[in-house]
Amino acid sequence: MRAVIFVNGVVQDSSALARRLRASDHLIAADGGTRHCLALGRRPHAIVGDLDSLDPALVAEMERVGVLIERHPAAKDKTDLELAIEYAIRQGATAILLLGALGGRLDQSLANVLLLARAEWPIPITLAEGDEEAQIVREGEEVTLSAPVGGAVSVLALTAQVTGITYRGLEYPLDDFTLPLGSTRGVSNVVATQPATIRVGEGVLLVVQQIDEAEPDSR
């Protein structure tokens, strides 16, 4: 089961979110992300958070129509998104897609991106923004890129350094490369051939790629 979590960020293009959805997705709203879900004509299966960003009348209406409400106290040690991810995993999700996770407050946007890097997550988590996706590649892993030929790809180190970075199918190749934290060496590459892959030896790498939205996945 894929869980899609709507986050309370800024959405510039609702149609871009709609193209990401599949009929079989389990929809979860992290507090104010509820509005993004409803704007697409979809109803979340669950709302998770302290609900400080939602009108109590809307919460009551969602509860009335059968939406599960997992309410947390305002004084908490985790963000609504982190709580929503934990909820999705408890429900048996095998993959998670985050929508509306950027924009608005800078601290929240950065926290949402860095949340992907937590080693404890047992399933892949992807953050989507417009026609781009961000995902984590960890020690010993290899990812096959979804970006089409000509699509932009960038990588950023999220640990002090990431070693053993090897590209296949990208215009500017790397072989067993070490990328230090803060370096821009991995920014703005391009897929030259498919399949294109990125492999990591040690460390945590953030991979951002431009995907082809021409044919939405309706599974």
Whether 188 and 132 have beta carbons less than 8 Å apart is answered as no
pLDDT of residue 217: 43
pLDDT of residue 213: 56
pLDDT at 216 over 50: no
Please tell me the CATH code under which domain 2-130 is placed.
3.40.50.10240
State pLDDT tens for residues 160-205: 999 999 999 999 999 999 999 999 999 999 999 999 999 999 999 9
pLDDT at 212 over 80: no
pLDDT of residue 12: 83
pLDDT at 109 over 90: yes
CATH topology of domain 136-210: Jelly Rolls (2.60.120)
pLDDT at 139 over 90: yes
- How many Cα atoms occupy the beta-carbon half-sphere of 168 within 13 Å? 10
Q: Which residue has the higher pLDDT, 187 or 118?
A: 187
pLDDT of residue 215: 41
E-assigned strand segments in the chain: 2-6, 26-30, 46-49, 68-71, 95-99, 125-129, 132-137, 142-144, 152-157, 161-168, 177-180, 189-190, 197-199, 205-210
Q: Which residue has the higher pLDDT, 104 or 121?
A: 121
Average pLDDT over residues 51-68: 96
Share of the chain above pLDDT 90, in %: 88
Delimit the domains of the chain by residue range: 2-130, 136-210
Contacts of 187 (CB under 8 A, 6+ apart): 154, 155, 156
pLDDT of residue 105: 86
- pLDDT classification of 218: cutoffs 50, 70, 90: very low
